[in-house]
């Protein structure tokens, strides 16, 4: 049965979900049937051309037990449990997302870890739920999925929430080398499925920050430039 607009309006899985999510990523992150099928490690492994473990390690290696960590969006597979386990019971792990089904999956995965909390919140406006601020904030493959104006809002909101001494970790796509064959596969994928992704081929993540010069930006690329991990800290 096809969904008409009036059924979308009352479906709780669609309530309050940003338009770009329903227009572009309905099948990936909004429709519960699809999310149930896709939320697996093997899917992340294939999407990231077998680079999933090293990209996750780039994030996990920045976490120390006892830290207060905010991950701005859910990710398929077991990443959120691995983050929460590394943070440990003396720390805090807050996971936000904008779609009910992804929040549901995150809550199920983290149910046994009392120091982890799943909160409905937009990365562009979430104010945080820790008085002292987070020691580490991570955006794992979110920026390439959001429209250009949202990229600015998300980067600024995250940086505005970062206390002195804290760190932001952005893991995302980047401009692949011309000789990297994956570049041409991604061009096709982007054309049909990821209309906002190629902006990260042209712009450094720093470009989206109003106050970029107040921070240090440490970038590492992977897989001949296909991916990047950027660690951001306040300048001393």
Ligand X SMILES: C[S@@+](CC[C@H](N)C(=O)[O-])C[C@H]1O[C@@H](n2cnc3c(N)ncnc32)[C@H](O)[C@@H]1O
Q: Which residues bind ligand X (CB under 6 A)?
A: 21, 29, 44, 47, 72-76, 96-99, 102, 122-124, 140-142, 145-146
Residue 101 burial (CB < 10 Å; 0-12/13-18/19+)? buried
Task: Choose between 11 and 165: whose C-beta lies nearer to ligand X.
Answer: 11
Residues 6+ positions from 119 with CB-CB distance below 8 Å: 94, 95, 96, 126, 129
Closest CA to 168 of 204, 139, 141: 139
Q: Give the end-to-end CA distance of the chain in Å, rounded to a whole number.
A: 58
* Least Å from the CB of residue 124 to ligand X: 5
Task: Choose between 14 and 29: whose C-beta lies nearer to ligand X.
Answer: 29
Cα(216)–Cα(231) distance, integer angstroms: 8
* Least Å from the CB of residue 104 to ligand X: 11
**Left (φ > 0), alpha (ψ -120 to 50) or beta: where does 203 sit?**
beta
* Least Å from the CB of residue 169 to ligand X: 13
Task: Choose between 89 and 108: whose C-beta lies nearer to ligand X.
Answer: 108
* Least Å from the CB of residue 233 to ligand X: 22
Task: Choose between 88 and 156: whose C-beta lies nearer to ligand X.
Answer: 156
* Least Å from the CB of residue 216 to ligand X: 24
Q: Which residue's Cβ lies closest to ligand X?
A: 73
Task: Choose between 42 and 111: whose C-beta lies nearer to ligand X.
Answer: 42
Beta bridge partners of 117: 94
């Amino acid at each position: 049965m096809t969904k008409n607009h009036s059924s979308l309006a009352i479906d709780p899985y669609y309530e309050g979900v940003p338009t770009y999510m329903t227009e572009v990523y309905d099948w990936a992150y909004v429709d519960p049937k699809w999310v149930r099928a896709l939320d697996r490690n093997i899917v992340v492994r294939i999407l990231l051309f077998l680079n999933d473990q090293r990209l996750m390690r780039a994030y996990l290696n920045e976490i120390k037990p006892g830290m207060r960590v905010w991950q701005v969006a859910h990710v398929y597979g077991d990443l959120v449990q691995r983050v929460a386990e590394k943070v440990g019971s003396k720390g805090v792990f807050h996971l936000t997302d904008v779609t009910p089904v992804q929040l549901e999956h995150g809550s199920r995965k983290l149910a046994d870890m009392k120091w982890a909390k799943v909160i409905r919140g937009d990365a562009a406006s979430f104010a945080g739920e820790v008085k002292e601020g987070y020691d580490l904030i991570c955006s794992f493959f979110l920026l390439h999925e959001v429209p250009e104006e949202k990229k600015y809002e998300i980067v600024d909101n995250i940086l505005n929430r970062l206390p002195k001494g804290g760190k932001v970790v952005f893991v995302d796509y980047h401009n692949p080398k011309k000789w990297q064959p994956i570049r041409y596969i991604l061009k096709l994928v982007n054309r049909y499925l990821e209309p906002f992704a190629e902006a990260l081929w042209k712009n450094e993540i720093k470009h989206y920050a109003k106050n970029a010069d107040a921070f240090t930006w440490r970038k590492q690329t992977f897989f001949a430039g296909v991916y990047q991990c950027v660690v951001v800290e306040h300048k001393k």
